[in-house]
Structure 1
Amino acid sequence: MKAKAGLLGPKDSVQNIMEIAADFQSKLEVIPYIYNEPSESEAIVEQNQHFVDFWICTGYTPYYLTKKYHKQQLFFYPRFNQGSIAIILLNILYKDRKNIERISIDSFFKQQFIDLYQENHIPLDQLHLLHNVGLPSSEIVEYHANLFRTRKVDICITSLRSVYEKLVSMNIPVYRVTATKENIKQTISEGYEKWEKFHFRNSQIAVMMIKIGEMMDTAAKDSISYDLHRLNLKIQNSVLDFAESVSGSFITTGIGSFLIFSTRGSIERNSQEGNSLLFQIELLTDSKANVGIGYGDTAMIAEKNAILALEHAEAYGTYTGFLVDDKGNITGPLHQKKTIGFNYRVTDEELSNKLKKAGVTISTYNKMASVQKNLGKHAITAADISEWLKMTARNARRILTNLEEQGLAKIIGEEVPLTRGRPRKIYRIGT
């Protein structure tokens, strides 16, 4: 599939990259977007983001200035390496016969200059470095000009075209560092490959199952309850609105039971709408409502994952949603502070055997490991597990004891409860 890449930067850099990008024309259409000043970057992206699949910036400055859009689209820029810098320094030495110890440099990559100088035992005491990101061109020009006028430097290096042209017009010796051809090729390849993966991921089938348990039970007992059918129509209207927001198809599978087919990208872009849907259902009915979302390369896999997600949501509690992706990763409860992620699959035979002996499922074990990670202290107690996984403290203690016996958990300490009682054992899972 042919992608469209927006190329953002000054005219000369854009033209240079366009020539190199011609090698990728069979799979990539590059659309140039030229600015006179880096400050124009944000407006250009805002006006044209819907016409391209991803962006290639000619340098770090436009990349940085458009960071507010990075969650919506993929952005890339060629990295300067020490090779780019070394070429400039060699030109200064052999073409201009200038002292490379007395230089002013504006760049985001300050550390690369420092590393190169240190590795080659070049003194740094007369090297003047300016972090240029977010600074207006006029301020950067004045920085270089002032150092040159006061004879603190013999030559300047910049990565910005506007700064370079202004210093040239002031008869100040200046070089402009640019990415190498190889760096640019790598950036274009990386951009296309990541977009391709991103596009494939967003195109995966998504199935959302919505179930209102008590309504289904009531319908089974009384199929002619008019109030129940009126309530179902109200809920159906909310579900239909959500289906429209994610460009999905909508199916009623019974009283209080609904199915939405869409794409992963649409569901993820409208994740807050899903939370709003559960809230609307909560306002309409006091019945237990849950949502399960499944992603997959086929409708069958996505539906299977949605069923598994719904089972986890129902086991967790009322008005909760869980998600199972194509890799078997389970996340939930969605849109809550205490959200955990775990996997229901295991490929470690030794671990699988130990869990069987402990009488603990892989999903429970992975849930507990995820809780431990979320707590951020590499430790866990039965009380933590009880609270996060909605199980009794007694059951949590039993599981931890069984894991410890199989070497899958280790007692690392004790804590004294605030109220009276025996000290609680502190465990570390995954030892």
Structure 2
Amino acid sequence: MFRIGIVGPSLSVNRILEMAKEMEQEMEFIPLAYNETSEIKEIILSYDQRVDFWLFSGNIPYTIAKKLLPSDENLVYIFSTESSIYKGLMELSYSQGKLLNQASIDMFQSNHNAEGEGVEHLKMTIKDLYVKTFDAEIDPNELFRFHYDLWKQQKTEGALTCYPTVNQALQEAGVPAYWMSPTRIEIFQTIRIFFEKIKTSYYKETQIGVVMIEVIDFDHIQEKLKKPYQIHYLELRLKELLIQLCENLGGSLFEQGNGRYTIFSSRGVIEREIQSIQEKIESLSIESNTAVAAGIGYGQTLYFSEMNAHRALRQSKEKEAKKITIIQDDGTMIESVGQEEELTYVYRTDDKEFLEKLNKGNISVKTYKKIEALIRRMGWNGFTTKDLAINLQMSERYAQKIVADLCKVNLADYIGEESPHTRGRPIKVYKLK
């Protein structure tokens, strides 16, 4: 059972808690309410080891917590839209019995762009609108003075604030005020997505992960070593590195012979230890003085995980640089994992019309999807055959053939030319359809 810490003002925490319990019964919810934002630090530090995920009532507590925790991976906050502003204006107008012509509003700084459109619409409705943006460290008294002074000078007829304590203080001082809080639908949508994120995290943690490693041309290494014990010493040094990696992954190591090794672990651990895997692969390569390929496969069963790992290893071996390749359970392939040139694409499709075109052009789904992923990652509006050749590590002649075939089956278009840096013919530019 996951433990969820819900942080915010007591009114917000109670609303979130009520809806969360209606939607999910298999999680433990820990309400952690505060009166002042200065209390958030103590809450986070006290409960960090006691909760699995954090759910914040808004961007203010989230921003403070984000600075205290090493990662924001398990943090989510209720995102407010302009709806909360409109709702606040309507409630304030209703309490006054008239539409307001003058009002003040405070807004958290990082929300200003997201809610800016709502404020612009308010300016069309309200004759005089005074806006104050603030950061998470602001003293609530400063917000109180902002609203109160404007009202005292008769420049406003009411105030909209993000702080419940400021709202209460303004009302006690006689200022018509309303606390802008997320709407029920905003809370519902955030909680729903949050629960999906938690379940996805659990799904990843429990998925089987298989790491397959192969020292390339291991047979040739054996032939080069003159003394019979030298190969045994090499194998012992390699195995020591692999046992260290296995310890990091909390997995099991199996030797398959001839420089081939398999480690069984879980997807969650492997994803967290990708850098460690990369470092050990480099160490293995240095120790053996040859390239080392690595493929990682994920799946719900051992069979599918191994099958995906085999495919990933084969893909890694095809590359000159022998970078780590991952194949996930949904068919997503990630090449050059953790590198600047990392490429993610799905190498299968159910689109029959699309498949017919590829078959007609004698182009594999993997090749097309890889080109598509490269264009997306590079942000190209158009590409040349040289661009593909350089980035996909293929000959320019082969790239020309692929592009010609894509154009032939109406999956790519010739869109223009660019001048070469040196003398020569213009270079053709293409675009996928």
Correspondence for 2:119 among 96, 105, 114: 114
- Letter in structure 2 aligned against 1:18: L
- Contact 2:62–2:75, Cα closer than 8 Å, also in 1: no
Conserved? CA contact 1:64–1:133, under 8 Å? no
Tell me the alpha carbon deviations over residues 303-324 of structure 1, each in whole angstroms, 9 at most, x when there is no partner. Answer: 1111111111111124411111
Any idea what the Cα deviations from partners look like across 1:337-386, whole Å, max 9, x if unmatched?
22222222132223323322323222122222222223322322221222
Partners of 2:363 and 2:76 lie apart in 1 by: 44
Distance 1:287 1:423 in 2: 41
Provide Cα deviations, 1:393-423, integer angstroms capped at 9, x if missing partner.
2222222222222222222223343345443
Contact 1:216 1:257 in 2 (8 A): no
Q: Aligned in 2, Cα 1:223/1:101: closer, same or farther, shift over 3 Å?
A: farther
Structure 1 residue ranges without an equivalent (≥5): none
| Matching residue of 2:64 | 65
- What does the per-residue CA deviation read over 1:113-133, in whole Å, with 9 as the maximum and x for residues that have no partner? 536647xx73x3312122344
* Cα distance in 1 for residues equivalent to 2:245 and 2:353: 45
Which TM-score applies when normalising by structure 1?
0.87
Number of aligned residues = 425
Query: Measured at CA, do residues 94 and 348 of structure 1 come closer, stay the same or move farther in structure 2, by a change above 3 Å?
Result: closer
Shift of 1:220: 8.4
- Partners in 2 of 1:268 and 1:145 — Cα distance? 52
Match of 2:102 in 1: 102
In the other structure, the counterpart of 2:127 is: 125
Counterpart in the other structure of 2:145: 142
Q: Take 1:80 and 1:331, find their aligned partners in 2: how far apart are those partners?
A: 35
Secondary structure, in 3 states, of the residue corresponding to 1:259? strand
Q: Is the 8 A contact 2:215 2:285 kept in 1?
A: no
Gaps of 5+ in 2: none
Superposed CA RMSD in Å reads 2.9
Q: Separation in 1 of the partners of 2:366 and 2:380?
A: 21
1:317 maps to which residue?
320
Q: Please tell me the residue identity of whatever aligns with 1:5.
A: I
Q: Which whole-Å CA distance do the structure 2 matches of 1:148 and 1:22 have between them?
A: 40
Is the contact made by 2:82 and 2:115 (CA closer than 8 Å) also made in structure 1?
Answer: no
Classify 1:184/1:363 alpha carbon distance in 2 versus 1 (closer, same or farther; 3 Å): closer
Q: Following the alignment from structure 1 to structure 2, what is the Cα–Cα distance between the partners of residues 256 and 117?
A: 69
Q: Do 1:99 and 1:154's aligned partners in 2 also have CA atoms closer than 8 Å? A: no
The answer for the alignment partner of 1:245 in structure 2 is 248
User: Aligned with 1:235: secondary structure?
Assistant: helix
CA drift of 1:42 comes to 5.0
Q: Distance in 1 between matches of 2:316 and 2:223?
A: 22
Alignment of 1:27-426 (within 5 A): 27-41=26-40, 44-67=43-66, 71-77=72-78, 79=80, 82=83, 85=85, 88-97=88-97, 100-107=100-107, 108=111, 110-111=115-116, 113-114=118-119, 117=122, 122=125, 124-136=126-138, 137-168=140-171, 170-181=173-184, 183-219=186-222, 225-426=228-429
Q: Is the 8 A contact 1:250 1:258 kept in 2?
A: yes
Query: 2:31 is matched by which residue type in structure 1?
Result: P
User: Relative to structure 1, is the Cα distance of residues 355 and 101 closer, same or farther in structure 2, using a 3 angstrom cutoff?
Assistant: same
1:73 maps to a residue whose letter is N
Distance 1:419 1:230, change over 3 A: farther
Shift of 1:274: 1.8
- Normalising by structure 2, what TM-score? 0.87
8 Å contact kept, 2:5–2:51 = yes
Q: Alpha-carbon deviation of 1:295? A: 1.2
